[in-house]
C-alpha cells in the first residue's frame, strides 16, 4: 500500500489507476497529494493560472463514491488532471492568458472537458499559456511566465508551457494542451515528457478559444506513452458541434501499443536537421536512430523539400486566421472592457489596446496585412496553394514509410528572456513541428535523450489517421530506453 504523498505524485496515471482499482488509495488521497505538491512548487513555476481546489476535491469524492458503488469508470476516473486555460470550463474563469478575458467565466464546458468530467477525471485547475496560445516560451502570458522544472532560469516551451511544466513537476498526472504549430510537442520536449498532437479533427475543438482554426488541435501531455493512449481514447470521437470533427467512433488507442516495430519503415527527413541545431540535440537524435534500428525498424533518409517553405506558410496562415478570430474581442460581448471613454469606437479601440499583449498585436497586424486588398493573392492565397503542395508531399512520402522520425526541437530549453526581443528567433523554435499542423497529421514527442543536463525530444510523425501508428512506434522506443524515467530535481 502506498501512503506517502511524494510516492503518489511520482506515479503515471495508469499506475495510479491500478492503486485506485485495488483500493490501496482513494481519489481524494491522490488529489490531496497533488494539491500539496502544487502548494509546494507553484511559487517557483507558475504552471497554473487558476487552481480549483474545492471543485477538485468534490470531483474526487464523487469518483470514490462511484467506484464504491461498482460503477465502471474510464482510464482517467479519479485521476487529477490540468486543462490549458484556453479551453472553456463552466463556472471556472477562462482567460486564454490574456487581460482582455479578465472576468470571463464560460457558461459551458469544452467538449474535451465534458469528456474528462464524464469519465470521472478530477480537474485540478487551468494551466498557464502564451496569450491566446501565441508563443513558444510561455513568457507572453498576462499572468507572468511559467518556468521550467529542470532549470527555473529557463523556459518550459510554449504555448502550452503551464500544462507541460505541470506534468513534469508532478503537479498533475495528465494535462491537456493545444497545438497550432508545435505548442504541445515543443514544450513536451523541453520539459522531458510525452506530448501528442492528434490528427486534425480527431479531437473536437468545441469550446477551445480559437487561434488558427485550420491548425488548432487539442492533445495530451503525459509521463509515458501508455497514458497518452489512454487520454486520447477519452477525449477523441465525433462531436457534431465542431464542423471539422471526423465522423467516426472512438478508438481503443492502448491496443496499438504492441511493443513491436520490427519490419516497420521509418523515414528520416534530412530537412529537419536544420542549421543551428545544437550539437547535443543532434547527437541524441542519432543515438535514437540506432535504438530504433536495434528494434528491427528499417530506417531510410528521405527528402521533404517543401519543409523549408513551411515556416513561411505558417506565419501567413496562422496570423490571418488569428486576425479574424480575435476580431470578436471588442469590449461589448464578454470579458474585460474599457468603458470610461466617450464613444463605442473608443471602447473597442481602448479595450484592444489595453487588453492584448504585444505578441498578439503583432500577429493581428500581420494577419490583417496579408488579408488586405492587394495583398491577399500575393500572400494568403499563395500560402494556401503551397500548403496543398506540402500536404501532397507528405501523402506521397507515407506511401513508402509507416512513420517519420525527427528531432522535436532544434534546441533544449533556452534561458528566460533570451529570445523575447527577437521574434524571428522565437518563431524558429517550432521549425520541426509546424509542417505537421499545416498537413493536419498526428505526431508525438517523447523523451529522447539529455544534453547539458536538459531533456531532448524525439518526434514521430504519422499519416492522417495514423495516430495508433505513432503511438506504437513511440511506445516501443520508450520501452527500449530509460529517458522517460528521468525527472527534474525540483
Q: Residues 9, 11, 12, CA angle at the centre, nearest 5°?
A: 125
What confidence tens digit (pLDDT) does each residue in 51-74 have?
Answer: 999 999 999 999 999 999 999 789
Q: Which of the residues are catalytic? A: 84, 159, 183
pLDDT at 455 over 50: yes
What confidence tens digit (pLDDT) does each residue in 367-407 have?
Answer: 999 999 889 999 999 999 999 999 999 999 999 999 999 99
pLDDT recorded at residue 94: 98
Taking the C-alpha atoms of residue 290 and residue 299, their distance in angstroms, rounded to an integer, is 9
What confidence tens digit (pLDDT) does each residue in 8-21 have?
Answer: 999 999 999 999 99
What is the phi/psi pair of residue 460, to 5°? -115, 130
How far are the Cα atoms of 206, 223, 433 from residue 210, in angstroms, in the given order?
A: 9, 27, 19
Helix axes 27-45, 53-68, angle to 10 degrees: 160
CATH number for the domain spanning 332: value is: 3.90.1300.10
- Which of 68, 84, 82, 74 has the alpha carbon at shortest distance from 120? 74
**What does pLDDT average to over the chain?**
96
Question: What's the whole-model pTM score?
Answer: 0.96
Residue 333 in grid coordinates = 460581448
Cα 262 from chain centre: 29
Mean pLDDT to the nearest integer, 200-216: 98
Mean pLDDT to the nearest integer, 178-193: 98
Mean pLDDT to the nearest integer, 149-170: 98
**Banded pLDDT at 1 (limits 50, 70, 90):** very low
Give the position of cell 506540402. 390
Mean pLDDT to the nearest integer, 164-184: 98
DSSP string, 70-86: T----TTTT-EEEEETT
Taking the C-alpha atoms of residue 128 and residue 140, their distance in angstroms, rounded to an integer, is 10
- Structural domain for 407, as ranges: 1-490
pLDDT recorded at residue 73: 83
What is the separation, in whole angstroms, between the first and last Cα of the chain?
Answer: 25
DSSP string, 408-429: S-SSSPPBTTSSTT-HHHHHGG
**Those residues with Cβ within 8 angstroms of residue 169's Cβ, 6 or more apart along the chain or in another chain:** 37, 41, 45, 47, 149, 488, 490
Taking the C-alpha atoms of residue 373 and residue 299, their distance in angstroms, rounded to an integer, is 47
How many distinct structural domains can be found in the chain? 1
Q: Report the SS3 class of residue 17.
A: helix
DSSP classification of residue 210: P
Amino acid at each position: 500500500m502506498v501512503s506517502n504523498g511524494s510516492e503518489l505524485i511520482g506515479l503515471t496515471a495508469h499506475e495510479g489507476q491500478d492503486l485506485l482499482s485495488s483500493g490501496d488509495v482513494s481519489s481524494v488521497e491522490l488529489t490531496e497529494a497533488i494539491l500539496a505538491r502544487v502548494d509546494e512548487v507553484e511559487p517557483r513555476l507558475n504552471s497554473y493560472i487558476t487552481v480549483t481546489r474545492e471543485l477538485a476535491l468534490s470531483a474526487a469524492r464523487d469518483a470514490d463514491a462511484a467506484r464504491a458503488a461498482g460503477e465502471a469508470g474510464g482510464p482517467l476516473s479519479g485521476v487529477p488532471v490540468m486543462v490549458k486555460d484556453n479551453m472553456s470550463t463552466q463556472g471556472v474563469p477562462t482567460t486564454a492568458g490574456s487581460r482582455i478575458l479578465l472576468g470571463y467565466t464560460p457558461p459551458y464546458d469544452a467538449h474535451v472537458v465534458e469528456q474528462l468530467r464524464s469519465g470521472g477525471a478530477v480537474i485540478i485547475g487551468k494551466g498557464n499559456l502564451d496569450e491566446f496560445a501565441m508563443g513558444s516560451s510561455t513568457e507572453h502570458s498576462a499572468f507572468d511566465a511559467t518556468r521550467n522544472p529542470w532549470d527555473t532560469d529557463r523556459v518550459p516551451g510554449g504555448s502550452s508551457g503551464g500544462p507541460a511544466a505541470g506534468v513534469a513537476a508532478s503537479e498533475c498526472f495528465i494535462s491537456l494542451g493545444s497545438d497550432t504549430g508545435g505548442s504541445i510537442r515543443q514544450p513536451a520536449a523541453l520539459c522531458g515528457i510525452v506530448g501528442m498532437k492528434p490528427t486534425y479533427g480527431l479531437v473536437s475543438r468545441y469550446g477551445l478559444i480559437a487561434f488558427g482554426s485550420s491548425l488548432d488541435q487539442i492533445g495530451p501531455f503525459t509521463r509515458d506513452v501508455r497514458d497518452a493512449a489512454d487520454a486520447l481514447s477519452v477525449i477523441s470521437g465525433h462531436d457534431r458541434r465542431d464542423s471539422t470533427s471526423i465522423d467516426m467512433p472512438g478508438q481503443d488507442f492502448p491496443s496499438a501499443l504492441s511493443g513491436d516495430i520490427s519490419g516497420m519503415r521509418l523515414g528520416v527527413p534530412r530537412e529537419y536537421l536544420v542549421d543551428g541545431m545544437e550539437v547535443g540535440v543532434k547527437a541524441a537524435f542519432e543515438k535514437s536512430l540506432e535504438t530504433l534500428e536495434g528494434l528491427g525498424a528499417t530506417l531510410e533518409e528521405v527528402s521533404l523539400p517543401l519543409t523549408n517553405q513551411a515556416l513561411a506558410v505558417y506565419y501567413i496562415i496562422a496570423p490571418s486566421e488569428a486576425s479574424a478570430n480575435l476580431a470578436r474581442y471588442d469590449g461589448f460581448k464578454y470579458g474585460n472592457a474599457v468603458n470610461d471613454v466617450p464613444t463605442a469606437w473608443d471602447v473597442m479601440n481602448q479595450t484592444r489596446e489595453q487588453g492584448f499583449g504585444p505578441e498578439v498585436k503583432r500577429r493581428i497586424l500581420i494577419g490583417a496585412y496579408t488579408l488586405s486588398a492587394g495583398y491577399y493573392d500575393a500572400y494568403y492565397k499563395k500560402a494556401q496553394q503551397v500548403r496543398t503542395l506540402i500536404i501532397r508531399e507528405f501523402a506521397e512520402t507515407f506511401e513508402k514509410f509507416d512513420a517519420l522520425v525527427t528531432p522535436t526541437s532544434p534546441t533544449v530549453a533556452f534561458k528566460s528572456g533570451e529570445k523575447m526581443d527577437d521574434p524571428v528567433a522565437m518563431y524558429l523554435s517550432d521549425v520541426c513541428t509546424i509542417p505537421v499542423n499545416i498537413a493536419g497529421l498526428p505526431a508525438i514527442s517523447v523523451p529522447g535523450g539529455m544534453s547539458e543536463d536538459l531533456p531532448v525530444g524525439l518526434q514521430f510523425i504519422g499519416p492522417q489517421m495514423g495516430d495508433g501508428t505513432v503511438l506504437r512506434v513511440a511506445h516501443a522506443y520508450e520501452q527500449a530506453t530509460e529517458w522517460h524515467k528521468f525527472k527534474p530535481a525540483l
